[in-house]
């Protein structure tokens, strides 16, 4: 009988909680209409209309080595790419379908190239696989709240056999776990209504996955969706429990703890603009400075952040995404030590920023300067061994000014007379405790 193995769980999760920052890649046929990855569903597009994008798909600029280098330079430690999204189109060479990249003008296995490129940069390899499949003849259409033909009774489900679809997608997952070497992360998406858990044959699926990839970590969406937490959170882990929780398009207000109050591994998945797949008219990109601070927020609450890029139909990153990645690269090169391997601190959140912690090192992320010396609330003067600016390594003196003599139990850092911080986005100082 299956039993949860806490020691094995902690071992396989070690790299993930060290990494803290990853890249999501949503890419497929939907990059051609360029109206988001849900275009078939939102527009209730018939199969025959969508197939014109299959006939056209030819990403002549696709160079996953370039993508992987940009991820690495931005400070990301892992990448997750859509091997198959909800439309059922496969970027990999599956023997179980003709609806795949090798049968398009691209003419090759795009996942193979991606996996090789990511590994070559020393990054962890992740694959996304949608549990939904609007192309497969045995996946529900009429009445399913996500399927494109949900409002078309002529597309009824009388001759659809869901168990055949489950066998199909299990076979494809087996291919992904067998044909591409070591896979570090599998990102399934997603459960809804009665489509969850054993409806997907989840125990059998994960048994197979773990036999082929014993060290792989898996998200929680065989059980829930972005709004759920799953059986590990409930302290009653099922054989198909998620290894981490997946809040989407938000950051939990206080991090995530299980029902017994123990910290959990989690990852906020966020878009740079409003869509996951390429959308030509969506220019509502979040500023790089905001996203850097959101990464810090995730880590300060004990979580990861995976940030999405939706390449265009030719295989290029949007210019806005490139600019944001360059901003991350500049900041992470100087301040990465305050992110990697760090987690929350028990100290109260300062009004001027946030705190991350690794061992005896407290990282104070300063978003705005204070009037007078900087109070390190919760830290006593005699507890401090040294204070250093992370970006330069220079000493930050402990302040002995008379102005804070009313607060003898609080250590104050002397940032100097300049009221303008050296880094307007996030100036980080390391407080090493004795």
Q: Give the model's pLDDT for residue 424.
A: 96
Q: How far apart (Å, rounded) are the C-alpha atoms in residues 185 and 175?
A: 15
How far does CA 171 lie from the centroid of its chain? Answer: 25
Q: Are strands 353-358 and 361-366 parallel, antiparallel or unpaired?
A: antiparallel
pTM flag (> 0.95): yes
Q: How far apart (Å, rounded) are the C-alpha atoms in residues 237 and 230?
A: 8
Q: Could you say which residues of the chain have pLDDT below 50?
A: none
Q: How far apart (Å, rounded) are the C-alpha atoms in residues 190 and 187?
A: 9
Q: What is the pLDDT of residues 354-374, one digit of tens each?
A: 999 999 999 999 999 999 999
Q: How far apart (Å, rounded) are the C-alpha atoms in residues 168 and 136?
A: 9
CB 18, CB 304: distance < 8 Å = no
Count, residues in the chain: 434
Identify the bridge partners of residue 356 per DSSP, sorted by sequence position: 363
Domains of the chain: 6-337 (3.20.20.80), 353-433 (2.60.40)
Q: Which residues, other chains included, contact 9 with Cβ-Cβ below 8 Å and sequence gap of 6+?
A: 243
- Which residue is it, tokens 């291919």? 175
Radius of gyration of the chain (CA): 24
Which residue, among 176, 22, 149, has the nearest Cα to 84 in the 3D structure? 176
Q: What is the pLDDT of residues 273-310, one digit of tens each?
A: 999 999 999 999 999 999 999 999 999 999 999 999 99
Which residue, among 92, 87, 24, has the nearest Cα to 53 in the 3D structure? 87
Q: DSSP E strands: which ranges in 35-172? A: 78-84, 124-130
- How many secondary structure helices (H) and strands (E) does the chain include? 9, 13
Identify the bridge partners of residue 218 per DSSP, sorted by sequence position: 186
Q: Give the model's pLDDT for residue 2.
A: 83
Q: Report in angstroms the alpha-carbon separations of 245 from 58, 242, 248, 268, 429.
A: 35, 7, 10, 8, 30
């Amino acid at each position: 009988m299956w039993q949860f193995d806490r020691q094995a769980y902690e071992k396989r999760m070690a790299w993930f909680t060290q990494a803290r920052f990853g890249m999501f890649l949503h890419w497929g046929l939907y990059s051609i209409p360029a109206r988001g990855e849900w275009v078939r569903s939102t527009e209730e597009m018939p199969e025959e209309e969508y197939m014109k994008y299959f006939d056209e798909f030819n990403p002549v600029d696709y160079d996953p080595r370039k993508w992987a280098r940009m991820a690495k330079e931005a400070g990301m430690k892992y990448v997750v790419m859509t091997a198959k999204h909800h439309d059922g189109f496969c970027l990999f060479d599956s023997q179980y379908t003709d609806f795949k990249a090798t049968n398009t003008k691209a003419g090759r296995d795009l996942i193979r190239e991606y996996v090789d490129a990511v590994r070559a940069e020393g990054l962890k390899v992740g694959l996304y696989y949608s549990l939904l499949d609007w192309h497969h003849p045995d996946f529900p259409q009429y009445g399913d709240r996500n399927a494109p033909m949900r409002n078309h009774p002529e597309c009824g489900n009388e001759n659809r056999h869901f168990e055949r679809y489950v066998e199909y997608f299990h076979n494809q997952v087996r291919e992904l776990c067998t044909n591409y070497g070591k896979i570090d992360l599998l990102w399934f998406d997603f459960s809804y209504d009665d489509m969850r858990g054993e409806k997907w044959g989840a125990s059998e699926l994960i048994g197979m996955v773990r036999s082929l990839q014993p060290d792989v970590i898996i998200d929680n969406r065989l059980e829930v969706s972005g709004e759920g937490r799953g059986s590990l959170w409930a302290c009653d882990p099922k054989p198909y429990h998620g290894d981490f929780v997946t809040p989407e398009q938000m950051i939990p207000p206080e991090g995530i703890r299980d029902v017994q109050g123990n910290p959990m591994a989690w990852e906020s998945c966020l878009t740079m603009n409003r869509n996951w797949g390429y959308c030509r008219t969506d220019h509502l990109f979040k500023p790089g400075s905001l996203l850097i601070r959101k990464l810090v927020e995730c880590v300060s609450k004990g979580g990861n952040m995976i940030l999405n890029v939706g390449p265009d139909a030719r295989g290029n990153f949007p210019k806005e995404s490139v600019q944001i990645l360059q901003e991350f690269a500049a900041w992470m090169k100087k301040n990465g030590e305050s992110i990697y391997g760090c987690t929350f601190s028990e100290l109260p959140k300062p009004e001027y920023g946030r705190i991350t912690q690794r061992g005896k090192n407290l990282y104070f992320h300063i978003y705005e300067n204070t009037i007078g010396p900087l109070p390190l609330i919760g830290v006593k003067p005699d507890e401090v061994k040294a204070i250093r600016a992370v970006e330069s390594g220079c000493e930050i003196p402990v302040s002995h000014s008379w102005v804070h003599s009313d607060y003898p139990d609080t250590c104050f850092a002397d940032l100097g007379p300049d009221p303008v911080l050296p880094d307007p986005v996030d100036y980080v100082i390391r407080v090493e405790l004795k």
